[in-house]
Amino acid sequence: MIEARGLSKRFGNVVAVDDLSFDVRPGTVTGFLGPNGSGKSTTMRMIMGLDLPASGTVTVLGRRYHDLPWPLREVGGLLEAKSIHPGRSARAHLLTLARSNAIPRARVDEVLEFVGLTSVAGKRAGKFSLGMGQRLGIAAALLGDPGVLLFDEPVNGLDPEGIRWVRTLCKKLAGEGRTVFVSSHLMAEMALTADHLVVIGKGKMIAETSVADFVARSSRQSVKVRTPAPHQLSDAVTNAGGTVISDPDGSMTVTGLSAPEVGDLASSISVALHELTPVASLEDAFMELTDEAVEFRGGS
């Protein structure tokens, strides 16, 4: 359980996190979604007591991070891809953390085995690939067998297999009753991993909702239509106020009209439909919501 109340953070004149309040509950994966630079990492660091909030509070299991008696046994954090000295071995890094929190030495080998780093445990971490570094970070997070897990962009730099591994791991951890808080700037990834979402943009709360509701709320639903009479239907749709985009596979995507409306329209002009599928574009929903809140936009 993580509870943020009025959490704010400023860096100089820049407001990085602006009055965020949210709950992250145990037993589900909560996605922390927002464009790059929207304040996700800063919020994660404030939860772990690394950055000090300008105002507001955040507690883990009802306590401030500083007041947790054995932090690594309560909270596991993967904050940066590599927060390890390149000259130190994976085992020594974990052993250091284990000793600080009175975690048995055997647990170090256990988590190394779990993330599949046993064979390279004695090698200097500087030689690790991005994926191995990420696995080591996850091993460190799991070291104290904590009930609360924070993963900041855990799939960054991972290959598809690694991404699937992280996704499965998050669900498994939540299934065990743990609180899992995963940040990402990729909506599609969150849709596959998370049950709930905390969506922020420019440090401000945009939505705190379930993934299903988030999608349903999106106004930019589109409908995929396949018909033997594309020109007729497309004219009718345009006249009814919709927009048609012809897709390369011969189908067309209609926006501005719902699936039932398109179906009724086709029926009224006696045009057969071979396919009528409502498509909720998560990326679109995300883009729409965060449109006003994108800190750094490309030159397009």
Partner 1 sequence: MTALLEAPTPFAIEQPPGRVGLRRAIAAEWTKFWSVRSTMWMLVGTGVAVMGLCALSTGTVSPSDIIEDPTRRSLIGIFLGQLIFGVLGVLVISAEYGTGTIRATLSAVPRRPVVLSAKIVVFGAVALVVSEILTFSAFAVGQAILSAKNAVGSSSAIAQRAQHLGVKVPHGVQVSLSSGSASLGQAGVLRAVVGAGLYLAALGLLALGLATIIRHTAGAISAFVGVVLVLPLIVQALPTSISDAVARYLPANIGLVMFSTHGAPDRVGPAFSPWTGFALLVLYTVVTLGVGCWVLMRRDA
Shorter beta-carbon distance to partner 1: residue 87 or 298: 87
Q: How far is the CB of 93 from partner 1 (least distance, A)?
A: 7
Strands 29-33 and 196-201: parallel
Strands 196-201 and 204-210: antiparallel
Q: How far is the CB of 8 from partner 1 (least distance, A)?
A: 14
Q: How far is the CB of 171 from partner 1 (least distance, A)?
A: 15
Q: How far is the CB of 54 from partner 1 (least distance, A)?
A: 11
Cβ neighbourhood burial of 296 (10 Å; 0-12, 13-18, 19+): exposed
Shorter beta-carbon distance to partner 1: residue 66 or 231: 66
Q: How far is the CB of 49 from partner 1 (least distance, A)?
A: 5
Beta bridge partners of 192: none
Half-sphere exposure of 58 (CA within 13 A, CB side): 27
**106 φ, ψ (degrees, to nearest 5):** -60, -30
Half-sphere exposure of 202 (CA within 13 A, CB side): 10
Please give the residue ranges that form the binding site for partner 1 (CB under 8 A). 1, 25-27, 45, 48-52, 61-62, 65-66, 68-73, 75, 77, 79-80, 82-89, 92-93, 95-97, 99-104, 107, 140, 144-147, 176-179
Shorter beta-carbon distance to partner 1: residue 51 or 261: 51
Shorter beta-carbon distance to partner 1: residue 146 or 242: 146
